[in-house]
Amino acid sequence: MNPAPLVALVGNPNAGKTALFNALTGARQKVGNYPGVTVERHSGRLALDDGRPIELVDLPGTYSLDPSSPDEAVTRDVVLGRQAGERVPDALIVVADATNLDNHLRFVLQLKSLGRPMVLALNMIDMATRDGLKIDLAALSAELGLPVVATVAVRKRGLDELRAALAGILASAPRTAPVESVDADIRHFQREARRISRAATAEQPRMRAVTRGIDRVALHPVVGPILLLAILFVMFQAVFSWSEAPIGWIEGLQGWLADTAVANLPDNFLRSLLVEGIINGVGSVVVFLPQILILFVFILLLEASGYMVRAAFLMDRLMSGVGLSGRAFIPLLSSFACAIPGIMATRSIDDPKERLTTILIAPLMTCSARLPVYAVIIGAFIPARQVLPGVGLQGLVLLVLYLTGILGAVIAAFVLRRTATKGVGGGFLMEMPRYQLPSIRDIAIGLWQRAYVFLRRAGTIILQVTVALWLLTSYPVAPAGVKQSEYSIAGRIASGLEVVLRPIGFNHEMSLAVIPAMAAREVAVSALQTVYAIDAADEEQGAQELGGRLAGRWSLATALAFLAWFVFAPQCLSTIAVARRETNGWKWPLVMIGYLFALAYIAAGATYWTAVAFGLG
């Protein structure tokens, strides 16, 4: 006698497969094991209306046929008919959650492309009804070309219809063979799923309608990217235009502290360490707190409102062009705050080469530690002029710096994915949350955490490096007529480095600032502050702010070269340490340091010589 036809229950996690399995088979269940793996095999018996027996297997939930765990691999292999210890299934019952139709349909479409006899159990209809969502089953069935049955597994509703549909597909279908290849074009399935779920949704609740409405614009292939660029543009304009007043307060406080120290302490070594090294050195970094917080207000708002996932979706197309997926977008996005959490977030990428690529390019995202460097140079050299009404030149330059970093990452990923980390990217598998109004409290907590982290850095690593640098630039004391910044220990080291950096437009002070900035980029600012203050100690008592000093001493070409350098240079010890930990060795961090310094050198040189050619030297 022929064995009973084998039917498998498949679908996304939590679609209700097991609930449906229990409802259909009742107590007639067996639990075994698939050979060679620790995954349990759940099977049971059910009878069709004509009395024919069916063997039903319940499979682990998965989002696609691209498994990221042993459970999911079993699901794939059973469905394809190549799982050891399992027959080729005669038909599939695909279970989808009616309240999350567009996400679940993606997998339905991929399964359908296998060509096996299939019926769709549209489960959780009760929840959909509760939410005011009405699905047109006939339209859905026509669009998919599959029988569709509405079910409520936990209430045992729709089971008769499901058995009838099963009898139908088994009657017409021939026994099928293993499937050799799988269509893995997840992006295509995603688009189709969206379209079909829209076509089959007869009525939807208001918030959902609002979300769809916004998404029609936000995810539009042309308007969407323009909107994203516009949002980023406003963000960078705001960084400059909103921060003026609070920066003034911090500078006022810093000036008052320095004046008070100068007025009340005897003029000795300790006083200048306190004033030049600590108050002005650390102060020159802390003054950027308002700009960092404004940047984070935007990032946190975009996240909390649900827009960030849309941005990831828009970027996905761009990223697939360089062999990465939308999955890499979230780690890269966190890297705009800081590459360290960004690199740690790459753990969510299952493909090891895609993950490695993401780690290697994460430092190219403009982290908040670059903002002090950018802001001081832009403030000193780029006039606060309006290019167009409401469009400031300074914000525009900042946006260009961010975009240059992104472009660098795109090129780096493109090259890496064709050489050192060869491979193709996976699909985009993120659920789109509904839009919502962000909670003020959450934003406030997020901002407070950023402020705390930034100030703690200023109080620890930046303070230590600044004090060490102050000591190294203050001694040995230069004889009359010789510049202190050149005669000192730090100055002599910088003179060595200057030989290499002079061709790309760097002067002695910049060469000096680049060394301690290896610890953290912001230190470049306090280092420049310290160097100029020490040289100027006699004439102006170090009271002048850094921007003014730079503007008088550097050419525009030099300043632009310095900006270009910081777009690429891997000047952050913590990032290198995290990359070493996450890649289990020194090989990849060294690759990262090497290519980033090479890019920094080339970019700074190209910028400098182009600017000189335009007469800006």
The contact set with ligand GTP (CB under 6 A) reads: 11, 13-19, 60-61, 123-124, 126-127, 152-154
**What's the min distance (Å) between Cβ of 472 and ligand GTP?**
60
**What's the min distance (Å) between Cβ of 202 and ligand GTP?**
19
Pick 42 or 450: Cβ nearer ligand GTP: 42
Pick 40 or 160: Cβ nearer Mg ion: 40
Q: How far apart are CA 549 and CA 539, in angstroms?
A: 13
When CB distances are held under 5 to 8 angstroms depending on the partner's kind, the choice from Mg ion, ligand GTP, none that residue 154 binds is: ligand GTP
Question: Are 476 and 279 a contacting pair, CB within 8 Å?
Answer: no
**What's the min distance (Å) between Cβ of 77 and ligand GTP?**
16
Pick 128 or 362: Cβ nearer ligand GTP: 128
CB atoms within 10 A of CB 49: 10
Pick 18 or 305: Cβ nearer Mg ion: 18
- Residue 539, class by beta-carbon neighbours within 10 Å (0-12 exposed, 13-18 middle, 19+ buried)? exposed
When CB distances are held under 5 to 8 angstroms depending on the partner's kind, the choice from Mg ion, ligand GTP, none that residue 15 binds is: ligand GTP
Q: Which residue has the tokens 């399964």?
A: 111
First to last CA, the chain: 91
**What's the min distance (Å) between Cβ of 61 and ligand GTP?**
2
Pick 18 or 129: Cβ nearer Mg ion: 18
Q: Is 433 left (phi over 0), alpha (psi -120 to 50) or beta?
A: beta
**What's the min distance (Å) between Cβ of 17 and ligand GTP?**
4
When CB distances are held under 5 to 8 angstroms depending on the partner's kind, the choice from Mg ion, ligand GTP, none that residue 14 binds is: ligand GTP
Pick 16 or 516: Cβ nearer Mg ion: 16
Pick 13 or 352: Cβ nearer ligand GTP: 13
When CB distances are held under 5 to 8 angstroms depending on the partner's kind, the choice from Mg ion, ligand GTP, none that residue 16 binds is: ligand GTP
List of residues 6+ apart from 602 with CB closer than 8 A = none
**Residue 135: enclosing H or E segment and its boundaries?**
strand 134-135
Q: Which residue has the tokens 């190294």?
A: 472
Determine the residue with CB nearest Mg ion: 18
Closest C-alpha among 313, 534, 526 to residue 430: 313
Pick 18 or 574: Cβ nearer Mg ion: 18
Pick 9 or 275: Cβ nearer ligand GTP: 9
CB atoms within 10 A of CB 357: 29
What are the strands, taking DSSP E only, across 337-389? Answer: 386-388
**What's the min distance (Å) between Cβ of 42 and ligand GTP?**
10
Pick 127 or 179: Cβ nearer ligand GTP: 127
Residue 217 to residues 95, 214, 221, 314, 449: CA-CA distances in angstroms?
31, 5, 9, 12, 33
Pick 61 or 427: Cβ nearer ligand GTP: 61
**What's the min distance (Å) between Cβ of 95 and ligand GTP?**
6
When CB distances are held under 5 to 8 angstroms depending on the partner's kind, the choice from ligand GTP, Mg ion, none that residue 569 binds is: none
When CB distances are held under 5 to 8 angstroms depending on the partner's kind, the choice from Mg ion, ligand GTP, none that residue 127 binds is: ligand GTP
Query: What is the chain's length?
Result: 617
Question: Are 41 and 34 a contacting pair, CB within 8 Å?
Answer: yes
**What's the min distance (Å) between Cβ of 23 and ligand GTP?**
9
**What's the min distance (Å) between Cβ of 190 and Mg ion?**
24
When CB distances are held under 5 to 8 angstroms depending on the partner's kind, the choice from Mg ion, ligand GTP, none that residue 399 binds is: none
Q: How far apart are CA 599 and CA 15, in angstroms?
A: 48
Q: How far apart are CA 143 and CA 146, in angstroms?
A: 8
**What's the min distance (Å) between Cβ of 430 and ligand GTP?**
18
When CB distances are held under 5 to 8 angstroms depending on the partner's kind, the choice from ligand GTP, Mg ion, none that residue 541 binds is: none
Segment 18-47, which members bind Mg ion (CB under 5 A)? 18
* DSSP output for 482-506: S-HHHHSHHHHHHHHHHHHHGGGT-
Q: How far apart are CA 485 and CA 533, in angstroms?
A: 10
Q: Which residue has the tokens 């107590």?
A: 27
Pick 75 or 575: Cβ nearer ligand GTP: 75
Question: Are 99 and 48 a contacting pair, CB within 8 Å?
Answer: no
**Residue 9: enclosing H or E segment and its boundaries?**
strand 6-11
When CB distances are held under 5 to 8 angstroms depending on the partner's kind, the choice from Mg ion, ligand GTP, none that residue 117 binds is: none
Q: How far apart are CA 482 and CA 490, in angstroms?
A: 15
| Residue 242 Cα to chain centre, angstroms | 26
**What's the min distance (Å) between Cβ of 53 and ligand GTP?**
23
SS3 sequence of 183-234: CCCHHHHHHHHHHHHHHHEEECCHHHHHHHHHHHHHCCCCHHHHHHHHHHHH
Tell me the Cα Rg of the chain.
31
Q: How far apart are CA 21 and CA 55, in angstroms?
A: 11
When CB distances are held under 5 to 8 angstroms depending on the partner's kind, the choice from ligand GTP, Mg ion, none that residue 326 binds is: none
Binding mask 328-347 for Mg ion (x = CB under 5 A): --------------------
Determine the residue with CB nearest ligand GTP: 61
Pick 110 or 346: Cβ nearer ligand GTP: 110
Output phi, psi for 282, to 5 deg: -70, -40
CB atoms within 10 A of CB 444: 12
How big is the site for Mg ion, counted in residues (CB under 5 A)? Answer: 2
Pick 13 or 35: Cβ nearer ligand GTP: 13
Q: Evaluate the omega torsion of the peptide bond into residue 438 and state whether it is cis, within 30 degrees of 0.
A: no
**What's the min distance (Å) between Cβ of 113 and Mg ion?**
23
Residue 587 to residues 128, 477, 590: CA-CA distances in angstroms?
52, 42, 5
**What's the min distance (Å) between Cβ of 109 and ligand GTP?**
18
**What's the min distance (Å) between Cβ of 56 and ligand GTP?**
13
Segment 4-23, which members bind Mg ion (CB under 5 A)? 17-18
Output phi, psi for 382, to 5 deg: -100, 120
Q: Applying CB under 5 A, which residues contact Mg ion?
A: 17-18
